[in-house]
Amino acid sequence: MSAPWWKGAVTYQIYPRSFADSNGDGIGDLPGITAKLEYVASLGVDAVWISPFFPSPMKDFGYDVADFCGIDPIFGTLADFDRLLLQAHRLGLKVIIDQVYSHTSDQHPWFIESRNSRDSPKSDWYVWADAKPDGSPPNNWQSVFIGSAWTWDARRGQYYLHNFLTEQPDLNLLNPEVHAALLEAGRFWLDRGVDGFRIDAVSHFVHDPLLRDNPVQTRPGPRSRPFDFQNHVYTVDRPETLQFLEKLRALLESYEARYSLGELGGPGVLGTEEGRYISELRLHSAYSFFFLRSSPPSPSLIRQAFDEWQSGHGDGWPTWVFSNHDAPRVATRWGGENSHKAYVEQMAALLLSMQGSVCLYQGEELGLPQAHVPFERLVDPEALANWPLTLGRDGARTPMPWLAAADNAGFGTGEPWLPIDPRHTQLAVDRQETDPSSLLQLTRHLLHLRRASAALWSGAQSFIDADERVLIIERQAGPERVLCIFALTGENTAITPPVGDWRPIAGNALIDAGRLQLPQHGYAWLRNG
């Protein structure tokens, strides 16, 4: 194809702590990933995205980076990473790694130097501000993880900004020296041969240099954290972010076929033509948070997702996700505690039907529900701070079940860092490998069909009017047309397909006397001719 490799690609997200433990310490690692890459390739995905494995105090499990150019010993060595990369490329898989440019760990040498003196060369590499006359923080900004976004540091006699944990001080991306240092770190991994970056927390890269108070949030919605009470116009999606992204894109373009996938999510410059994050000068794509935060899909909701994307990103190419390491697993989030297998299958087909690229989170191909993690085993700072009001992130991060009858479901020989839900053991890879009706086998089939179809891979998309019971997506590339039809109400439904000579290629629906019979949670992919 003439299109770039990532346009339409399906990327498999690996959370390394929980994928496969090769040395029995209870924590997944890089050699464990390497040993399982043949399984990943067998799914029919195009790339892997590996969440952070850099040296870190692990206050936020790797997203508090203490060295951008190293490997934390719990995950292995640089030689282990090189072997992983070589094996992935041998199997035809691209490798994307996380880059965390918004902040560092408070143990990073840059921050240690910055906090020690206002006169150090790195004094302005982080966001520092004086207290108000009464000693209170500089403004009303709130951390995503509860409480003020400012922490007092007695050594500097100033507050420092942290949009997330206190231990994750924000880098000052208004400083060109910080730009240069981050780009040099990116170059380190590009020179090793990685195929691209998933760029964390892009929306939080830049702060308002005038430190103005955020206004009150007037949009309706839940208010479970102080962060939710504010409209983050001065802390999220600042237009100054584009300057760094253009430099990053220039770096990527100096290598062959490299890719940038941004984590975006918030108000700001996205709706303005001159401020688009995704363009020939900036990010290649961004994955949408829409479905990670939405109610279960309906025809109108799917249309809304694309309408909002197009209004904010114009011709930019979307990447869709239903699950990731930061959100409760989709089987539970939408399907409930006892989600029906047919519903999980329908959601898998829906994700692979929509125009855009896709990120598939480890275990999603098995239909894993959100794991139950008892309070005494919780480790996620967000889960602990919000307990019991949210499901937290631990339940989406429990170890991958490989072997139903093995200790720790085949994850490793040592006690895992998070407990394995017994329901996951019943859905282990080895059980689904031998079951032709399993979600694993269905996922492989759907991925094969998607890869073989120009229409499903990167073709045009339109919606065909039906009613609120049924979603009909038409994908087209040249003469090939594919209809993706979903009964989203959980009821038996029958419709007359649009005029044409349609042949079923996937799904649990039947064509009878010219009518498409959709069972509960029914879906069908129909190809013309």
CA dihedral 398, 404, 406, 412 (to 10 degrees): -30
Question: Comparing C-alpha atoms, which of 455, 460, 473 is closest to residue 523?
Answer: 473
Question: Comparing C-alpha atoms, which of 311, 306, 266, 260 is closest to residue 286?
Answer: 260
In angstroms, the CA 354 to CA 516 distance is 21
Catalytic residue from among 29, 64, 170, 200: 200
Any catalytic annotation for residue 256? no
In angstroms, the CA 271 to CA 319 distance is 17
For the beta carbon of residue 35, count every other beta carbon within 10 angstroms: 15
Q: Which residues contact 340 (CB under 8 A, 6 or more apart)?
A: 520, 521
Helix (H, G, I), strand (E, B) or coil at 233: coil
Question: Comparing C-alpha atoms, which of 77, 14, 18 is closest to residue 380?
Answer: 18
Place of tokens 């994700």: 351
In angstroms, the CA 273 to CA 258 distance is 25
In angstroms, the CA 151 to CA 134 distance is 15
On whether the CB atoms of residues 522 and 493 are closer than 8 A, the answer is yes
On whether the CB atoms of residues 524 and 474 are closer than 8 A, the answer is no
Any catalytic annotation for residue 200? yes
In angstroms, the CA 138 to CA 73 distance is 38
For the sheet containing 158-161, what is the strand order? 128-129, 158-161, 150-153
Dihedral sign (CA 140, 143, 146, 151): negative
Catalytic residue from among 46, 72, 167, 263: 263
Catalytic residue ranges: 200, 263
